[in-house]
Chains A and B, each alone.
Chain A
Amino acid sequence: MIEELIANLGFGMSVAVSPTNVFFLFVGAFVGMIVGLFPGFGPAAGIAVLVPMTFGLDPTTAIIMLAGIYYGSMYGGTITSILINTPGESATVASTLDGYPLAQKGRAGPALVMQTFASFIGGTIGVILICALAPTLAEFASSFGPSEYFLIILFGLLLLTTMMGENKFNGIVSALLGFVISMVGVDVISGVQRFTFGSPELIGGIYFVPIAIGLFGIGELLHCIYIGQHKKMIERAKVAFRSKDFWPTRKDYSESKFTVFRGSFIGFIAGVLPGSGATIGSILGYSIEKKIAKDPETFGKGEMRGLVAPEAANNAASSGAMVPLLSLGIPGSGATAVLLGAFMMWGLQPGPMLIVNDPGFVWGLIASMYLGNMVLIILSIAAIPLFIKFLDIPYVYVIPVVVLLCVIGTYTLHFSMVETWMLLVAGLLGFCMKLYGYSPAATVLALVLGSMAEENLLQSLIISDGSFAIFVDRPISFILSMIIVAVIAAPFAYRAFKKLSYSNGVT
């Protein structure tokens, strides 16, 4: 098992370590850190906006660069959490709880170094666990039929929508909207045109990239403008780079040594679960650390463990989210959905056979994640002064960069004006969705998985002569169906239980 793991990683290294790949890995990690720095512009938007720029590259190199953006943004997002009390993206929200108080205490330097250290350990543990888990899961999934696949897609979408708390209906509507968009074009089974309104531009379907760029890029940008990000005066904590106090103390390391491992494992498990991802992972990492601490009252007041736990967790979760993506072809978050779309764009067929058919790609990508973590620890510490300078750029100058990259990037995909207008429509939709508590991530996930979901549902029904019993006939289908029922029923059962215990309390 261990020999196999090392051999696979070695093979991946032989693919990933080429001058071109390492150069684009640096570019991806660097861009990812910048993406993470700007509030409201998360990894999904960063990847979607930069997909068009990777067209001239080899698929492995392109995905290595895009994956670099993905985990680089986790590193970058924390810099703003610590220095300006504004998370660069949702996965670093938990890091503000103790990160900013640490900066206020004059410990911004140690906080930045410790977050890099925790992110590195989290990312590295994540990569090791991917190596162990992805092939096993892929092997197990190779026996899956269309009914199992349909149920897994349904399960992923359901988890993503149930994670939305009070806005579950909005989450479901968001996912259904993604399905609606995915159904435009020629139906692969019957060959009939659907929802094309006679337009030749729509016969091939709606391409996911303009929609993803619109929803994540333009939509997020408009939302940031709406809440007045461009009017805010940024006051950041000062960092003394040349002082001895810039580095963490021995106490910081010794206090956090177990925290970093706990956070990593919790984050990885959260990342593997579809719909959960880095945000939930980091919040879970923080809460559990606080709960088991002997001095929980110090959390929220500048406790180093309160920063290390969510940081290790969100990086491990980003690696964890790669497991269902690489072994099942099913992404668990908006960012991995965009990555999946990019896989398909380069002709890769995601699913359990990806590891068998394209081992160079899969292991090269996994090895690049390990390399990426090394690149990021160097970038994070050596280039902190440079990244901090980016925080001083007024948001009003960031707006045109994002808009131009989105519009020009979309236009150069197919040189299509229809797609470029679609970008604007998707941007408006994304803005409204963000404003009213819908989930653009669920829409993109459903858009990318829409045709796969439909194909698997129809194939299952054709096999079973139209009987829905196929979804409970086979053991795996049965278990999946039961889990789905449990996920749907759990909130109702919880509400009924709460009501019952409340009425008991009253009487």
Chain B
Amino acid sequence: MRLWFSLFLFIASVAYFIYGLNTLTFVSRIGRPGPGYFPGIVGVLLILFTALNVIKDLKAVKNNEIQPFRVMAMLLDRKASGPGSGDDRSYPIDVVMVILCIALLIGSITLLGGLLSMVVFMFVLLFAMNKRKLLVNVGYSIALPVALYLLFDVLLNASLPRGVLGI
């Protein structure tokens, strides 16, 4: 995965530099540094250092230190994806699940409203990660959102969005 992240940063840096070059002027008409001057310097440095990282990672791939094509295997193997066993285990599936739950929360916040979306988010997340304690999950999924709703909406006066049910 490290190689893919380095590559992503490199490509993003090149895109950032080219976009800046096309939309901003490096030096103004009177010869002073223009709005593209600082972004230009930052872009060049980013390209340089991200490229060095890509080269470093490619060398590591060549020496078999990192395996970029184990991504799918990592995602599919729920338990053992880290280098080794026991405490080295990693849980990429759980990470993906939490990311999806956060996306669900953000995506539903205006539709369902602040309170309801929090309840749904918590229930889905706890059901996925803590299946055995259903009753505790339900209680917690209601208690925490209500507490946060009271904190933000009532105490701090930062009104949460109202959804289709008016809450």
Q: Of A183, A424, A436, A466, which is within 8 A of B5 by CB?
A: A436
A326 to chain B, nearest CB (A): 27
Would B49 and A225 count as touching, CB distance under 8 A? no
Task: Please indicate the chain B residues that have their CB under 8 angstroms from the CB of A179 in the complex.
Answer: 38, 42
B residues bordering A, Cβ < 8 Å? 1-2, 5-6, 9, 16, 19-20, 23-24, 28, 31-39, 42, 45-46, 49-50, 52-53, 56, 87, 89-92, 94-95, 98-99, 101-103, 105-106, 109-110, 114, 118, 121-122, 125-126, 129-130, 140, 144-145, 148, 151-152, 156-158, 160-161
Would A225 and B24 count as touching, CB distance under 8 A? no
Is A172 positioned at the interface, with any CB of B under 8 Å from its CB? yes
Would A424 and B49 count as touching, CB distance under 8 A? no
| Chain A minimum-CB-distance residue to B130 | A396
Give the distance in Å from the alpha carbon of A45 to the alpha carbon of B153 in the complex. 23
Would B106 and A53 count as touching, CB distance under 8 A? no
Would A190 and B28 count as touching, CB distance under 8 A? yes
Q: Of B19, B50, B105, B126, which is within 8 A of A407 by CB?
A: B105
B158 to chain A, nearest CB (A): 4
Give the distance in Å from the alpha carbon of A221 to the alpha carbon of B97 in the complex. 13
Would A194 and B95 count as touching, CB distance under 8 A? no
Task: Please indicate the chain B residues that have their CB under 8 angstroms from the CB of A431 in the complex.
Answer: 95
Is A355 positioned at the interface, with any CB of B under 8 Å from its CB? no
Please name 13 further chain A to chain B contacts, defined as beta carbons within 8 Å, in addition to the given A169-B53, A228-B89, sorted by A numbering: A173-B49, A176-B42, A192-B35, A194-B23, A228-B87, A228-B90, A228-B91, A400-B121, A407-B109, A420-B106, A423-B106, A457-B38, A458-B33
* A-B Cβ contacts below 8 A, count: 163
Known contacts A226-B95, A228-B90, A462-B33; is-contact A400 B126 (Cβ 8 Å):
yes
Would B2 and A436 count as touching, CB distance under 8 A? yes
Task: Please indicate the chain B residues that have their CB under 8 angstroms from the CB of A408 in the complex.
Answer: 114, 118, 148, 152, 160
Is A2 positioned at the interface, with any CB of B under 8 Å from its CB? no
Known contacts A218-B102, A230-B129, A397-B140; is-contact A432 B122 (Cβ 8 Å):
no
Would B158 and A52 count as touching, CB distance under 8 A? yes
A-B contact pairs, 7 of them (CB 8 A): A183-B42, A192-B24, A226-B95, A396-B130, A424-B99, A431-B95, A432-B5
A233 to chain B, nearest CB (A): 12
Give the distance in Å from the alpha carbon of A183 to the alpha carbon of B83 in the complex. 39
Would B20 and A195 count as touching, CB distance under 8 A? yes
Q: Of B39, B52, B92, which is within 8 A of A194 by CB?
A: B39
| Chain A minimum-CB-distance residue to B32 | A462
Task: Please indicate the chain A residues that have their CB under 8 angstroms from the CB of B94 in the complex.
Answer: 225-226, 230
A445 to chain B, nearest CB (A): 15
Would B118 and A55 count as touching, CB distance under 8 A? no
Would A424 and B91 count as touching, CB distance under 8 A? no
The A contact surface, by secondary structure, is helix
Residue count of chain A within 8 Å CB distance of chain B: 60
Is A427 positioned at the interface, with any CB of B under 8 Å from its CB? yes
A191 to chain B, nearest CB (A): 8
Task: Please indicate the chain B residues that have their CB under 8 angstroms from the CB of A394 in the complex.
Answer: 130
Is A136 positioned at the interface, with any CB of B under 8 Å from its CB? no
Would B5 and A412 count as touching, CB distance under 8 A? no
Task: Please indicate the chain A residues that have their CB under 8 angstroms from the CB of B125 in the complex.
Answer: 399-400, 403
Task: Please indicate the chain B residues that have their CB under 8 angstroms from the CB of A407 in the complex.
Answer: 102, 105-106, 109
Give the distance in Å from the alpha carbon of A221 to the alpha carbon of B23 in the complex. 37
Known contacts A180-B46, A230-B129, A458-B38; is-contact A403 B32 (Cβ 8 Å):
no
Task: From A176, A228, A417, A458, name the one whose CB has the most chain B CB atoms within 10 angstroms.
Answer: A176
Interface residues of A in 164-211 (CB under 8 A from B): 169-170, 172-173, 176-177, 179-180, 183, 187, 189-190, 192, 194-195
B146 to chain A, nearest CB (A): 11
Interface residues of A in 392-417 (CB under 8 A from B): 394, 396-397, 399-401, 403-405, 407-408, 411-412, 415, 417
Q: Of B32, B38, B52, B160, which is within 8 A of A169 by CB?
A: B52
Is A435 positioned at the interface, with any CB of B under 8 Å from its CB? yes
Task: Please indicate the chain A residues that have their CB under 8 angstroms from the CB of B42 in the complex.
Answer: 176, 179-180, 183
Give the distance in Å from the alpha carbon of A466 to the alpha carbon of B37 in the complex. 12
Give the distance in Å from the alpha carbon of A407 to the alpha carbon of B46 in the complex. 30
| Chain A minimum-CB-distance residue to B38 | A454
Would A169 and B103 count as touching, CB distance under 8 A? no
Task: Please indicate the chain A residues that have their CB under 8 angstroms from the CB of B46 in the complex.
Answer: 173, 176-177, 180
Task: Please indicate the chain B residues that have their CB under 8 angstroms from the CB of A435 in the complex.
Answer: 1-2, 5
Task: Please indicate the chain A residues that have their CB under 8 angstroms from the CB of B92 in the complex.
Answer: 226
Would A55 and B156 count as touching, CB distance under 8 A? yes
| Chain A minimum-CB-distance residue to B123 | A400
Give the distance in Å from the alpha carbon of A401 to the alpha carbon of B151 in the complex. 13
Give the distance in Å from the alpha carbon of A436 to the alpha carbon of B145 in the complex. 34
Give the distance in Å from the alpha carbon of A195 to the alpha carbon of B36 in the complex. 10
Give the distance in Å from the alpha carbon of A170 to the alpha carbon of B2 in the complex. 12
Give the distance in Å from the alpha carbon of A431 to the alpha carbon of B109 in the complex. 23
Task: Please indicate the chain B residues that have their CB under 8 angstroms from the CB of A417 in the complex.
Answer: 106, 109-110
B22 to chain A, nearest CB (A): 11
Would A424 and B35 count as touching, CB distance under 8 A? no
Task: Please indicate the chain B residues that have their CB under 8 angstroms from the CB of A221 in the complex.
Answer: 98
| Chain B minimum-CB-distance residue to A188 | B35
Task: Please indicate the chain A residues that have their CB under 8 angstroms from the CB of B130 in the complex.
Answer: 394, 396-397
Would B35 and A231 count as touching, CB distance under 8 A? no
Would A194 and B99 count as touching, CB distance under 8 A? no
Is A222 positioned at the interface, with any CB of B under 8 Å from its CB? yes
Lowest 7 CB-CB distances: which A-B pairs, in order? A412-B158, A187-B35, A192-B35, A454-B38, A190-B35, A176-B46, A179-B42
Task: Please indicate the chain A residues that have their CB under 8 angstroms from the CB of B32 in the complex.
Answer: 458, 461-462, 466
Task: Please indicate the chain B residues that have their CB under 8 angstroms from the CB of A53 in the complex.
Answer: 151, 156
Give the distance in Å from the alpha carbon of A408 to the alpha carbon of B103 in the complex. 13
Give the distance in Å from the alpha carbon of A210 to the alpha carbon of B90 in the complex. 27
Give the distance in Å from the alpha carbon of A403 to the alpha carbon of B33 in the complex. 43
